[in-house]
Every structure is written in structure tokens, then in C-alpha cells.
Amino acid sequence: MHDTPDPGDRGDAVCVVGAGASGLAAVKNLRELGFAVDCYERETSVGGAWNWRHDRSPIYAGTHLISSRPLTEFPDFPMPDTWPDYPHHSQVLEYLERYAKHFALTDDIWFGMEVTSAVPVEGGRWDVTIRSTGVGESSRVQRYAAIVVANGHNWSPVTPEIPGEFQGQTMHARAYKDPSRLRGRKVLVIGGGNTGCDIAVEAAQQAARVWHSTRRGYWYAPKYVFGRPADQVNDRLLRWGLPLRMRQWLYRRTLRLTTGDLTRFGLPEPDHRPYESHPIVNSQLPYYLGHGRIEPVPDVERYDGAGVVLTDGTRIEPDLVITATGYRPRFDFLEPELLDTDENGRPDLHLHAFARRHPTLAVIGLLQPDSGVFPLAHWQSVAVARWLRLRADDPERAAAVQQKESTRPLDSWSRRRVVPTQRHWFEVDHVDYLRSVEGLLDQMETPA
């Protein structure tokens, strides 16, 4: 930092916000293309959401991967092949820690430092205000050539607004850590996502009684199909390039043969086709439905003192309500218009990554793919690094790439036909998405 006259001006360096999986990939891939990087992490260790010690982590003791290992690992740093198909969250953290150590990423990470604002200044540069999260709370402003945001989107809980008073205990799934809290209690789990299903299953193993409230029917896929991880089987269909309609038909057939018809247990029929909602992968849910340990119930209408009234008029009396109703993205340090964020809080970014009006602002990992996020975050950050490099070295070609990218059709990378809820804002099909990023990478390929 002694090579620039103004200590606050970091020259060509890039600022990365967050040292979770996406931030680590960004640091590594920016450095690969010769950028100096300062990464700011509010916690004192790497791993972001996957680090259960972090107070914002959504991890609970029983969390395992939903996507299998080959579809989850970084493409240039495989997980050990002796690990199980669906590693435990502690293994994922160990993996991220090893990734950081292997590539010496912590040299560039400032722990216990929080970015409180980032403001565009002349020349596409950014004034970034950083504050220490520890004692003293001193803050400083540094100027960067670009800012790459990797602050995660699974930490700010969405809590449903349920009218009425409830005398029992309520908690959001983020606060749920350990199944011992469920032991012997009557539990209502609200939410049909992967977390809601996981908690319903843990409740089935521990609690006295379990209700599972979902707003609609979903396609509950098993973790294994024909003895193989279900996502690996699904990728065969994608590899063969089967059209969506054919895949939807095969999906229904396969689900009928494996999970079977769940409406028999009282679950509603899905109101959408397969592949039109985020995949729910849970082999144990049907098992506990069949054993009567999980009672499926409809949406919650209101709280009523000691009870909860459901939309079908029934009243149940749980003593613990867990809302597994997801998370919303938050970029408190950026003015909403920088990310073209609409009134609902939904940012509009090219490839869910590139700010449309600020070429030196990008977001990594803001995706809900039908695979793990790490491989997509990796290629996103490679694309961002190449873009920033090209912009610095060959502005003319960079302008041409930008022009060409603006014509890339939205439905080539963003899954359009999805259930229109906040849950599906960033839903992508990993194959379509990666094909688009690959197309962008090819355009920015340095001539050999």
C-alpha cells in the first residue's frame, strides 16, 4: 500500500465484500488475473453461511448438502473423493477453509471489518467505507477500481406476517440450530422449502407432534434415484439435451416410481410443472408422512391465543412455531438504484451478476440454481475478473463485448417459467446458466 501517494487510494485494486464461498472464489479469480484485492469480512473467519459459528449463519446441526458433491464443488478444487455424496455442513466449512489456505487467500482478507457504504465516484471508481466490527468501531474510506459484492443472500430472514397473538414460542429457521429444542414439544413448521422439510423431519424424530404447513404442493424429489444421487441422474437428461417437456414427463414418471403419490398422505397436488420451482430434495419426508409423524396442513391464517388457525378453518395448538420462510437479499451499503433494485427489493443484474449501469460493480453468488452455487460462483467470478481486466487493457473490445452481451436473451440464462414468488427471483438452470457464462468467457478470451 506504500506505492500510492494517497493512503486511501488503492489504485487498481478491487474490493470484495464478504469471505464466504462466493467471496473466496472472487478473491482467488481476481488475483489470478493480476488484480490486487482487499476483501472485507465482518466475521473473524471464512465460510460465510457455511460457518455455523457466524451469528448470521442459517446452518443447523443436521444440515447436509442438497446437491451432490460433484455438482457442488469448485471446478478447480475438488472435494476429497472419499467424502460422501452429500457432505455434512462441517465438511463444507472444512473444504472452504482448505480452499482459502491452499490458495493463500487470507493474505488479502480483512477480518472483523464491515463495508458500510460504497459510492461510485469519477472514472468508474468506488469510495468504500469500512468499519471495524470490534471495539472502537473506527471507520475509514478507501478508493477502489471496482467492487465485487459477495455478501450472501441467506442471512436476512423473511418472517410471514401472521395476524393475531400467539402465546406459544415462535422462531425463524435461522435461529433453529439443534433438534434438542424440539424434544417432546408440539411443533408447527411453516414452509415447504428444503429447510422446512429438513426441520419437519427432525421434528418427526424428536417432537411429540408435528404439523407441516405448506402453501402449495411441491415436487419432492428423493436424494437417490436408481441408487445414484438424483441430481446426477437429472444431469444425464440435460446432457442428452432432452427438451423441457420431455424432462418434465420423465420427472413425473421417475417421481411416481420412487417417491410415489404424496396426495395420498394429504399433501396438495403441485400447482406447477416440475422444474418450475426450486427443487426440494428430501427422502425422509414421505417416510414420516407415511408413519403419521408429520401431519401436512395448509397455510396459516392467523394466530389465536394458544392456537393457530389454518386456512381450512382447523385450529391446532402447537407450543412451538418455526417459520422456515426463507431469506431476502440485502445490500444495505449500496443505494438501490446502483443494482437497479425495484420496490420489492429485487435487483436487476445481467446474468444476476453484472450491474447494468455500473461496469465496475458486480455481485457473485446471487443465484438459486438446481445444483450447488459454488461452481456457478466460480465461473461468475472468472467472468467478472476477465471483464475488469479487458476493460482496463482494451476498452474498445470491452465496449464491443458489452454491446454484444446486451443482446443476450433473458430466457437463455434466467429460468422464466417459475412460480412467481420471491423464492424464485434468482432461480436458474445450472446448465443454461453456465452455457451463457461460457459464451461470455469465450468473447473475452485473450487471443492465444
Partner 1 sequence: MSTPEVLRFADWTTPVAPAAREVVSRLPEDDHGHPPLLFVPAPGRAASVFAEHWLGHAAGRGFSGYALSARPGGDLRALVHDTVQTAASLPRRTVLIGHGEGALVVAKALGRYPARAAVLAAPRLTPRFAVFAKPSLPRPAGRTPVLVVGSPDDRLVKPAALDRAAAVYGGAPLLFPGMGHDLMLEDGWAEPIDAILDWLLKELPVPGH
Nearer CB in complex with partner 1: 74/176: 74
Q: At what angle do helices 430-443 and 395-405 cross, to 10 degrees?
A: 150
Residues from 234 through 253 that contact partner 1 (CB under 8 A): 235-236, 238-239
- Position 102 contacts partner 1 (CB under 8 A): yes
Q: Please, what sign has the CA dihedral across residues 438, 388, 377, 174?
A: negative
- Position 108 contacts partner 1 (CB under 8 A): no
- Position 101 contacts partner 1 (CB under 8 A): yes
- Position 78 contacts partner 1 (CB under 8 A): yes
Which uninterrupted H or E stretch holds 30? helix 21-32
Q: What is the rounded distance in angstroms from the CA atom of residue 43 to the CA atom of residue 61?
A: 20
Q: For residues 442, 444, 445 and 448, what is the CA-based torsion angle, rounded to 10 degrees?
A: 140
- Position 33 contacts partner 1 (CB under 8 A): yes
Q: What is the rounded distance in angstroms from the CA atom of residue 318 to the CA atom of residue 315?
A: 10
Site for partner 1 (CB under 8 A): which residue of 62, 75, 124, 179? 75
Site for partner 1 (CB under 8 A): which residue of 26, 71, 203, 418? 71
Site for partner 1 (CB under 8 A): which residue of 10, 42, 69, 181? 69
Nearer CB in complex with partner 1: 235/295: 235
SS3 154: coil
Give me 166's grid cell: 400467539
Which span sits near partner 1 by CB under 8 A: 28-36, 209-217, 255-263, 273-281? 28-36
Least Cα distance to 99 among 375, 383, 365, 368 occurs for 375
- Position 392 contacts partner 1 (CB under 8 A): no
Residue 48 sits at φ, ψ, to 5 deg, of: 50, -125
Site for partner 1 (CB under 8 A): which residue of 20, 48, 58, 70? 70
- Position 32 contacts partner 1 (CB under 8 A): yes
Q: What is the rounded distance in angstroms from the CA atom of residue 388 to the CA atom of residue 330?
A: 24
Q: At what angle do helices 244-257 and 230-239 cross, to 10 degrees?
A: 150
- Position 431 contacts partner 1 (CB under 8 A): yes
Least Cα distance to 378 among 17, 72, 14 occurs for 72
- Position 232 contacts partner 1 (CB under 8 A): yes
Which span sits near partner 1 by CB under 8 A: 65-73, 170-178, 211-219, 413-421? 65-73
- Position 379 contacts partner 1 (CB under 8 A): yes
Q: Where are the alpha helices (DSSP H) in 260-363?
A: 284-290
Nearer CB in complex with partner 1: 172/389: 389
The residue assigned the cell 446437491 is: 67
Nearer CB in complex with partner 1: 9/85: 85
Exposure on the CB side of residue 66, measured as CA atoms within 13 A = 21
Q: How many residues bind partner 1 (CB under 8 A)?
A: 36
Instruction: Please list the residues that pair with 181 across neighbouring strands.
Output: none
- Position 82 contacts partner 1 (CB under 8 A): yes
Nearer CB in complex with partner 1: 55/81: 81
Report whether 101 contacts 24 (CB < 8 A): no
Nearer CB in complex with partner 1: 104/175: 104
- Compute the least distance from the CB of residue 420 to partner 1, in Å: 29
- Compute the least distance from the CB of residue 86 to partner 1, in Å: 13
State how beta strands 113-121 and 125-132 pair. antiparallel
Task: Return residues touching partner 1 (CB under 8 A).
Answer: 32-34, 69-71, 75-78, 80-82, 101-104, 231-233, 235-236, 238-239, 371, 379, 382, 431, 434-435, 437-438, 441-442, 445, 448
